A and B are shown apart, each in its own frame.
Chain A
Amino acid sequence: MKDMRYIRAASVTEVTDCLKKYGDKAKILAGGQSLVPLLRQRLARPGLLIDISRVADLKFIRKTKNTLKIGALTTHRQLETDPLIREHLPILADMEKQLASVQIRNLGTLGGNLCHADPAGDVAPALMALGAKLKLISATGARTMSVENFFKDFFETAIRPDEVLAEIDIPLLPDLGHAIYIKHSSRGVDTAIIGVGTFILKDHDTDTCKEIRLCVGAVGPVPIRAKNAEAVIRGKVVTGKTIAEAGKKAREEISPVSDLQGSAEYKKELIEVFIQRALKAASSGRRK
């Protein structure tokens, strides 16, 4: 077996210095809920593990005037139960309730989930729907990037080998804005066969849809924006007819692959049905 070094970092600076030195030979360990099974199976064999789980600077939930700032090491369970999240972004608490089991949520982190970039992850479609931004830090500086541009391929992100994800910045929902996340899986604790994050903002006077984001996870290498379906809804009053049309458009524009979870045709059906369900719930202001 190949030797693997282990460093427990105490600060963000220590993490970025290590990453600068070791680059892609190093792998960051946060909650360990995705990486440890890969290490155990010898599917991942990094030369160095940088354990960031004790870096206190990456554990926070803070409210600013227009956003909620969440540290990358915040656990799923903290997101599920935090009063600030429940008050301002209930979609995240609802999403977390559907993510794996309590045991996993107790240890797994928001940043770890995003950086692992499992295409069936629940966090990404919800954050994409909310228009969240990610702050990536390296020894040479920091940059921000939208969640939408972060995912590149199966388990691949735009993060550079010398960078660590530090913070997730989520705009607060405007008045008359609604966001929900719904998913379908074989059992509650399983990974999603489909997950849909939806954000709708309606015009106060005309009740037409001013802004919409429909984000579908688990049906491609990365979470996908159903842009043709969004175009059906944008600028119109959301009715049963437009919802049905949007579902059909989403079915046409997304091409899932057959696997053990279901055939491509079955997944297309799920896309249509779940886009419709998500639109119905979000446009009526329901949480599910």
Chain B
Amino acid sequence: MIIESSITLDGPVKEVWEKLLDPACLKNCIPGCESVSVQSNGEFKGTVKVKIGPIKARFDVVLTIVEMQPPVRLVSKMQGRDRFHTGRFTQENQLALEEINPDRTRLTYTSNLSISGKIATFGERIFRAKAKEMEKNFLASLSDILKHEERKQ
């Protein structure tokens, strides 16, 4: 499934870039995220809890940066595996930042999500919609954090 999105954020390109790679900010923005840490090899590791009615999954997620052109382009690959062995997902992300003016940045995002295992056979249509909702909430939280960020004039 392809998820595409674009949003205009408050803040200069460099600051948006830093936020996107800041584990504390990611933890606050990703819905259901319990922890995020950066490993010595540059990988991001974390756990994300997803609940849809009676279905509960806790994913151990690893995000690997494939290509990086600071502060405008980031290509990454994310893999998640549920601790209760109900399924896994892989997600290939391409993210671009573009300066609109010195205080505003456009974030464009394309992501290809694949879900496998029991959660895919049982609730594919639900997880797809849930993934879209999570992505929307992530961008809304990021936008909110940047809006309330104190900046030096």
Point out residues on A near B: beta carbons under 8 Å: 27, 35, 37-38, 41-46, 116-117, 119-120, 153-156, 221, 257-261
Give the shortest distance, in Å, between A142 (CB) and chain B (any CB): 24
* CB-based contact A41/B86 at 8 Å: yes
List 10 A–B pairs whose Cβ atoms lie within 8 Å, in order of A's numbering: A43-B54, A43-B119, A43-B122, A45-B84, A116-B53, A154-B53, A155-B53, A155-B55, A221-B129, A257-B128
Contact call A259/B129, Cβ cutoff below 8 A: yes
Other contacts beyond A38-B55, A260-B124: 13, CB < 8 A: A37-B122, A38-B54, A41-B122, A42-B118, A44-B54, A45-B56, A119-B126, A154-B129, A155-B126, A221-B129, A258-B1, A259-B129, A261-B125
**Count: A-B pairs, CB below 8 Å:** 58
Interface residues of B: mostly helix, strand, loop or mixed? helix
Judged by DSSP, the binding face of A is loop
Complex interface: chain B residues within 8 A of A45 (CB): 56, 84
- Give the interface of B toward A (CB within 8 A): 1, 52-56, 84-86, 118-119, 122-126, 128-130, 132-133
Question: A155 to B52, Cβ gap below 8 A?
Answer: yes
In the bound complex, what is the Cα–Cα distance between A221 and B132 (angstroms)?
Answer: 12
Query: Complex formed: what's the CA distance from A38 to B129 in Å?
Result: 19
Which residues of A sit under 8 angstroms from B128, Cβ to Cβ?
257-259
Return the chain A residue nearest B118 by Cβ: A41
Find B53's partner among A37, A42, A117 (CB 8 Å cutoff). Answer: A117
User: Which chain A residues lie closer than 8 Å to B85 at the CB level?
Assistant: 42
